[in-house]
Amino acid sequence: MSEATPQTPPSIPITVFTGFLGAGKTSIILSLLPRLPEGYKVVLLKNEFGDVEVDSQLAKQSNLTAVSEILNGCIGSAFPATLAFQIRELERKTMNDLKLDAIVTVIDAENFIGYEDASPTARMQASYSDIILINKWEHVTEQQLDVLIDHVNTLNDTTPKIRCEGRQGVDPNLIFGLDSKLFAEKGLIETSHHDEVETVTVYKGALQIHTHSAEHDRTSCSCKPTVDADQRQDSGDTPSHVSEEVLLAVLSSIPKETIWRVKGFVRTESGLHILNWAFGRYELSACAVDSGELLKLTVMGERGEVKRVGRRRLVEPLGACMH
């Protein structure tokens, strides 16, 4: 009797999700998880602007096997050529134990044509992708959607374009198991998206102690300096929450032409929430893990405008600080 030939274990597929700020990448990823086969294990590696771990908190409330969020950095996922080349190198070194499966670009149908004009990266994302997911299309008319698709086709007329199913995201069978052929050879030039986006942090009354150090922007600060946590709580100078009425008024006043994304943590009368604001639309979700924050937001938008607009529309109305 001949011995059975041992089976080669299947490769671990790697799918790269890319797209402009607020396009809905994390929401789509999280919507995929309940629709995967039973026993399917997923690890999420998330690259993030700023220093607020918002998406990790959302992801930890799902059934992901592991979550890691890289703050204040760029791992190449804005324009994924470098990352894809690195994954191709891992394929070689691991004898295909790890394998690039697909590069998926998420497009915000409501705002793509506007931000694409200001972002070469957004155009590159649409140009080099295995699948283009059109998100938030239900917020535009059929005519606007036709114009968008025609415009995207001028950037990439060969890649399939799929409408997302609202909060249901997209069928996993449409984006997993593609065995991407993109970036199989080197030669594309990586560009930096950090030059396109300015990022600041707006915060108030966090349990972490902050002082007016040399790094603290006094001109952008409406809060009072604090020295000791117990002292702050006893003094009554710092409120225990942000008024939801004030918060909603602030969110409604932010101009989406210059501020593209606001995300972070805010404590209102009803408890700690995760705030996701993108191009005028926002969502407040209850946070399962209480980080002790009062207000800590990452604000992203047009370079040279974020601090000016953020100071007037966020910092001053909320009595917060900015750095």
Structure tokens at 52: 């607020």
Specify the pLDDT at position 35: 87
Q: Given pLDDT bands bounded at 50, 70 and 90, which one contains residue 126?
A: confident
CA–CA gap between residue 152 and residue 155 (Å, rounded):
5
Q: pLDDT: is 200 or 197 the higher one?
A: 200
Name the 3-class secondary structure at 298. Answer: strand
Q: Given pLDDT bands bounded at 50, 70 and 90, which one contains residue 1?
A: very low
pLDDT in tens, 300-317: 998 889 999 999 999 999
Specify the pLDDT at position 4: 53
The rounded Cα 118 to chain-centroid distance in angstroms is: 18
Q: pLDDT: is 144 or 83 the higher one?
A: 144
Q: Given pLDDT bands bounded at 50, 70 and 90, which one contains residue 289?
A: confident
Percent of the chain with pLDDT over 70: 73
Q: Could you count the other beta carbons within 10 Å of the beta carbon of residue 211?
A: 9
Name the 3-class secondary structure at 320. Answer: coil
Q: Given pLDDT bands bounded at 50, 70 and 90, which one contains residue 7?
A: low
Specify the pLDDT at position 298: 92
Specify the pLDDT at position 206: 54
Worst-scoring range by mean pLDDT, 38-42, 136-140, 237-241? 237-241
CB 169 within 8 Å of CB 32:
yes
Task: Report if pTM > 0.75.
Answer: no
Structure tokens at 41: 């294990």
Q: pLDDT: is 234 or 137 the higher one?
A: 137
The rounded Cα 149 to chain-centroid distance in angstroms is: 23
Q: Given pLDDT bands bounded at 50, 70 and 90, which one contains residue 209?
A: very low
Specify the pLDDT at position 77: 54
Is the per-residue pLDDT at 262 higher than 80?
Answer: yes
pLDDT in tens, 145-158: 999 999 999 989 99
Specify the pLDDT at position 248: 95
Q: Given pLDDT bands bounded at 50, 70 and 90, which one contains residue 124?
A: confident
Worst-scoring range by mean pLDDT, 27-41, 49-63, 112-126? 49-63
Mean pLDDT, the chain, integer: 80
Worst-scoring range by mean pLDDT, 151-155, 192-196, 223-227? 223-227
CA–CA gap between residue 229 and residue 272 (Å, rounded):
19
CB 237 within 8 Å of CB 224:
yes
